[in-house]
């Protein structure tokens, strides 16, 4: 009887351990999907914003659209930073959140310029925004490897 209980205990531990591994794998895949989606949005943002800044110089509606886009990106940053990363992805998540802090700061600076009536698209190109988005999107390969 003692032997059966021991075997049952060992089997239970193996199953529970296997469940933990499976859960970690699922969490990694889920995180990789969220991170990839976020980085796709950041990349799209980087593609769209320069033209929006050009248009904002002469068009009031384009100014509002640009401000809306900048504020929406700030919200995307906040939402992603609150994402819980699995242990296997903590380093990558920390890198992304560091880039996000720089991106958020660049957006704040650009919004302040807009508030002060400075609609110069060169200010956007010279800001940390575009450089940081490029750095962010360079992490996509690392994130895709989480799913493998």
Mean pLDDT of 13-26: 52
Query: Residue 85's pLDDT is what?
Result: 94
| Whole-number Å distance between alpha carbons of 140 and 38 | 10
Q: Which domains does the chain have, with CATH numbers?
A: 29-146 (1.20.120)
Query: Residue 86's pLDDT is what?
Result: 93
Q: For residue 5, what are the CA distances in angstroms to 11, 12, 16? A: 10, 10, 16
Per-residue pLDDT tens for 100-114? Answer: 999 999 999 999 988
Per-residue pLDDT tens for 33-60? Answer: 999 999 999 999 999 999 999 998 889 9
Q: Is the pLDDT of residue 2 over 70?
A: no
pTM of the complete model beyond 0.85: no
Q: Is the pLDDT of residue 6 over 60?
A: no
């Amino acid at each position: 009887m003692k032997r059966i209980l021991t075997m049952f205990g060992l089997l239970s531990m193996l199953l529970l351990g296997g469940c933990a591994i499976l859960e970690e794998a699922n969490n990694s895949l889920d995180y990789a999907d969220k991170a990839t989606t976020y980085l796709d949005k950041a990349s799209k943002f980087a593609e769209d914003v320069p033209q929006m800044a050009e248009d904002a110089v002469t068009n009031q509606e384009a100014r509002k659209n640009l401000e809306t886009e900048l504020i929406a990106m700030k919200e995307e940053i906040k939402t992603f930073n609150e994402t819980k990363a699995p242990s296997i992805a903590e380093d990558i998540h920390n890198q992304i959140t560091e880039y996000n802090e720089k991106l958020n700061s660049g957006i704040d600076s650009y919004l302040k310029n807009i508030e002060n009536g400075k609609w110069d698209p060169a200010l956007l190109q010279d800001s940390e925004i575009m450089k940081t988005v490029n750095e962010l999107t360079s992490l996509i390969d690392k994130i895709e490897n989480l799913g493998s």
